[in-house]
Amino acid sequence: MKFRQDRINDSVARTVGEILRSVKDPRVSSGFVTVNHAEVTRDLKFAKIFYGVLAGDRAEVEQGLRSAVGYIRRELAARLDLRLTPELTFVYDGSAENGARIARILKEIEVSHGGPAENSGEDGKNV
């Protein structure tokens, strides 16, 4: 049963990500929204969609998603063959932004130190 639930979660996350690319609301389309994960209840009544925003204002994107939730749910029903179409709740997940920030910091450190650190022994020779 766990395997089926994981498949449903993955299908919903992937499909909502595809649907978000077709949303015409500029608050959503200009925000480059990524769907990180979805959690659908076992009875298929509710789904939490965890998303990130890589560009744009997070508050504006959130308003746009709330405005477009009916369209997204209707498209989800048309694309997935589920007994019920869950009510969608969008939950902000900043993990993608944190990863991008960490990558940028590591790149800055690498540039400021002249490239990757070299391992050297006590005699000055590279090991």
Residue 94, domain CATH: 3.30.300.20
Q: What is the mean pLDDT of the chain?
A: 86
In the DSSP assignment, the letter for residue 31 is S
pLDDT tens figures, 46-67: 999 999 988 888 899 999 999 9
- Please list the helix, strand and coil fractions of the chain in percent, rounded to the nearest 5, in that order: 50, 20, 30
How many distinct structural domains can be found in the chain?
1
pTM of the model: 0.75
Q: How confident is the model at residue 120 (pLDDT cuts 50, 70, 90)?
A: very low
Using DSSP's 3-state secondary structure scheme, residue 1 falls into coil
Residue 118 lies in a domain: no
Q: Which domain holds residue 103?
A: 2-112
